[in-house]
Amino acid sequence: MEDEKITVVATDSELTMEVVVLSKSVHAIKVLVGEGVHSVTCDLIPTSTGRAYAGSVMGRELVYAKTRDEMQAELGSLAPKGKGGRNFIN
């Protein structure tokens, strides 16, 4: 099974990087930045406007340019269905 990856932007340098997604919900995305012993985790949470997810790792801000509504739609289409067709993901 391949790891899911997303592209984030480091706002200070405008550089983009791919990070590994550890968990994903509408409320937060937990990602792994770096590889091996030099990797660190980062929680990306929705911005106050809901237009992106942002977090900080080692003093640098990372931004994932996906709205909260887009994330909800993505998770809704991927969520396993429970009894009665309800999604398990909030």
Residues 6+ apart with CB under 8 A from 2: none
Let me know if residue 87 belongs to a domain.
no
In the chain, the percentage of residues whose pLDDT exceeds 70 is 84
For residue 35, give its domain range. 5-76
Phi, psi of 46 (to 5 degrees): -60, 140
Question: Is 90 domain-assigned?
Answer: no
* Domain assignment of residue 39, yes or no: yes
pLDDT of residue 85: 52
The model's pTM is 0.80
User: For residues 45 and 53, what is the distance between their CA atoms, to the nearest angstrom?
Assistant: 5
Q: Is 20 exposed, middle or buried (0-12, 13-18, 19+ CB in 10 A)?
A: middle
Please indicate, yes or no, if residue 10 is contained in any of the structural domains: yes
Question: Does 58 reside within a domain?
Answer: yes
- Average per-residue pLDDT in the chain? 88
| Residue 20, in any domain of the structure | yes
Q: Tell me if 26 is assigned to some domain.
A: yes
Q: Provide the number of structural domains found in the chain.
A: 1
Tokens of 71: 């994330």
Domain for residue 85, yes or no? no
- pLDDT value, residue 87: 52
- Which residues in the chain land under pLDDT 70? 1, 78-90
